[in-house]
A and B are shown apart, each in its own frame.
Chain A
């Protein structure tokens, strides 16, 4: 088990665990935040208690998820200093400012208006409350922008020079809007929105199969389908832009994604695995398709891992990293196929009253059951997509400039890392179970429970309205 004595491996393992856990809840927050804001707006416009109950149900679900995102995000902010001290010293001049800006410009916005959403129903006006839900969502989008600016700079660094062994920013806008920033941002946010739509749909399927909350089901199917179709259509150019940047800027990542060792026109594998010993890929492929997507030419040649390694020894991922990148990338692609199928099902369910054949299909229970589980596809696509981006960048932590192996904290021993990894696993498992239980509890109780508590409140308010003026929610 010599891996468990290697501080760099352990630091990477810890980062992988904490960032993936965090990254599961952030997409949910951003994805579901849109639905919360949409239904808040609907309730505000209609002033109907039933819409109001649905809107409050969404606030509960959103707050639950957002809390976990906030709590697990605290670790990330400090992980660069704790686990990656030499990285921090190298990039401080560039990487710190987006983190500070994220806290200053986004976190304060989110936390303030989340406080309003959870505790302020009776403390602020109806319009203020509705606008707050949009501000929280806007804040989360802003937060995603700053953190992706920071991450993109690690992928395609720009606007800097090296002085005294450190990266010094010379052009803020070139650094912030490096080649990866916009493609990654659009790709990521659109993916998160797709995920939110599938989870919202899963709730709708749950209620439909139990014959509950027809209003919730109808509305979620309607808005969910619109969001899903728009986002999935947007995903096509976004993913294309992202792939093109990788092909242009990160040749070793592109080669790892398709397991390509020799310089040649790059095929696209449908699935398979890398036979690293023989340096080939086992699986069916479409020849030249990746080259075509990246360069518009089926015969465009891209450098393979062997030539890249020969040109600069130690600049390409290890066999294990190539395998991981390949597998993650292809799971993501397959999941994108499943997502497209899911969008078709969503369209069928949304158009059930418009077309007879849609209505026929929507009467089958199995189609709702299937749709109820399809959130797994965007979930997997998000996690594997992220792993593709990060494993594919190896051995670099800042592409072409600093190696991951040279970035860890010298002051942190393997024992400390092992202890904290175990503690993270225990705490995150507890949080995950607690979150899952509560989410399921909210789902079971549904908007009806909110409605009944609203009736209780109304009754209580009318009895002691005069003696209690400005009260707490």
Chain B
């Protein structure tokens, strides 16, 4: 396997892990106003994501940085092409980070921070999918690789459908996480479990709808070598995760349900990656698509990056084991 393919896979992994991990804290933020009525419940949700949200978000920064380093033209095109959408995502992530940390101390402005925490979670959760939908569908690029359409061209039916699917999976992730982290027997945990059951069905319907839309648009290119087997594995994992997810949720096996929901996210992302491979950003003309080969950095740079990754990734895994272990167990609702 060439270094270029390796880095395509690594960046895919970084973003998939981001989807799974930040997915649950974004989802918790979206659910918070709907299922947490009392201050103690809101606080419990903050405590369920508080120690880990920042680390979860770093996966996005790492993925973005790695995309810049390994496939700079793709980074440049995506981020400048989806400019307003990306900016809205960034504004969302900014106000959300501040809201999450400030609300505990800032009793006077707590209402404002709660609203911002919700909006800041909702906007990125929706727009990520819209961006990926556009990558799948293809966007208008010129010869330099610059996007030449308008902001509203990005809001087609298919990208919006992918956006809503993404949002739905993220809400499901949030519900699964809260079911797992909130004290059993509380009103909050029960509500999260209800949402989880509903979102499992909604997500399944949306997955089917997006699949139908995708194939009816004739947008699949699995001609390249190992795309097909990878996609097949993705589909199998997806089906298993959905089925086991349903079963474990009805039996109250919260950890298994969370793992299934996470696997479903990974499978969806793998299907996305297999569909665009060997392109990174599909062009609908007049310029060429941005491909792995055309965008890749020099082998020397990719080698350096691989060495850095070999040093960094084990450390990152150790940090994650440390923090999730330190904060294991359920969060009580209400007085200490």
Taken together as a complex, chains A and B put the C-alpha atoms of A60 and B106 apart, in Å, by: 12
Which of chain A's residues have a CB closer than 8 A to the CB of B315? 105, 108-109
Q: Assess A100 versus B79: contact at CB under 8 Å? Given A68-B98, A111-B54, A411-B146.
A: no
A329 within 8 A of B: no
Query: Which single member of A82, A112, A115, A119 contacts B87 (CB below 8 Å)?
Result: A82
Query: Which single member of A71, A80, A437 contacts B68 (CB below 8 Å)?
Result: A80
Which of chain B's residues have a CB closer than 8 A to the CB of A168? 298, 300-301
B327 within 8 A of A: yes
Which of chain A's residues have a CB closer than 8 A to the CB of B84? 416, 419-420
B311 within 8 A of A: yes
A222 within 8 A of B: no
B286 within 8 A of A: no
- Size range of the interface on A? 35 or more
Chain A residues 89 to 136 lying within 8 A of chain B, measured CB to CB, are 89, 91-97, 99-105, 107-109, 111-116, 118-120, 123-124
Query: Which single member of B69, B148, B326 contacts A99 (CB below 8 Å)?
Result: B69
Q: Assess A78 versus B64: contact at CB under 8 Å? Given A108-B58, A169-B301.
A: yes
B244 vs chain A, min Cβ distance (A):
29
B34 within 8 A of A: no
Which of chain A's residues have a CB closer than 8 A to the CB of B145? 89
A-contact 0/1 string along B51-73, CB 8 Å cutoff? 11011011001101111111111
A112 near B61 (CB under 8 angstroms)? Answer: no
Q: Assess A116 versus B69: contact at CB under 8 Å? Given A81-B78, A82-B79.
A: no
B98 near A67 (CB under 8 angstroms)? Answer: yes
Identify which of A99, A411, A431 gathers the most chain B CB atoms within 10 Å of its CB: A411
A107 near B101 (CB under 8 angstroms)? Answer: no
A104 near B312 (CB under 8 angstroms)? Answer: yes
Q: Which of A203-211, A261-269, A465-473 contacts B (4 or more CB under 8 A)?
A: A465-473
Q: Report the count of interface residues on B (CB-CB < 8 A).
A: 73
Query: Which single member of B51, B77, B90 contacts A85 (CB below 8 Å)?
Result: B77
B235 within 8 A of A: no
B308 near A81 (CB under 8 angstroms)? Answer: no
A-contact 0/1 string along B93-122, CB 8 Å cutoff? 111011001100110010000000000000
Taken together as a complex, chains A and B put the C-alpha atoms of A51 and B74 apart, in Å, by: 52
A77 within 8 A of B: yes
Identify which of A94, A442, A471, A472 gathers the most chain B CB atoms within 10 Å of its CB: A472
Chain B residues 284 to 301 lying within 8 A of chain A, measured CB to CB, are 297-298, 300-301
Query: Which single member of B78, B80, B331 contacts A472 (CB below 8 Å)?
Result: B331
A225 within 8 A of B: no
Apart from A82-B83, A102-B65, A416-B87: 7 A-B pairs, beta carbons within 8 A: A67-B97, A70-B97, A74-B93, A81-B78, A85-B79, A115-B52, A431-B94
Q: List 29 A-B contacts (CB under 8 A).
A: A60-B105, A64-B102, A70-B54, A74-B94, A81-B68, A82-B86, A85-B76, A88-B73, A89-B73, A91-B72, A93-B72, A94-B301, A99-B65, A99-B69, A100-B68, A103-B61, A103-B62, A104-B309, A107-B62, A108-B312, A109-B319, A120-B326, A123-B326, A124-B326, A168-B301, A410-B144, A412-B83, A420-B87, A472-B332
Residues of chain B whose beta carbon lies under 8 Å from any beta carbon of chain A:
47, 50-52, 54-55, 57-58, 61-62, 64-73, 75-81, 83-84, 86-87, 90-91, 93-95, 97-98, 101-102, 105-106, 109, 142, 144-148, 151, 297-298, 300-301, 304-305, 308-309, 311-313, 315-316, 319-320, 322-323, 326-327, 329, 331-332, 336
Residues of chain A whose beta carbon lies under 8 Å from any beta carbon of chain B:
60, 63-64, 67-68, 70-72, 74-75, 77-78, 80-83, 85-86, 88-89, 91-97, 99-105, 107-109, 111-116, 118-120, 123-124, 168-170, 172, 409-412, 416, 419-420, 423, 427, 431, 434, 437-438, 441-442, 460, 464, 468, 470-472
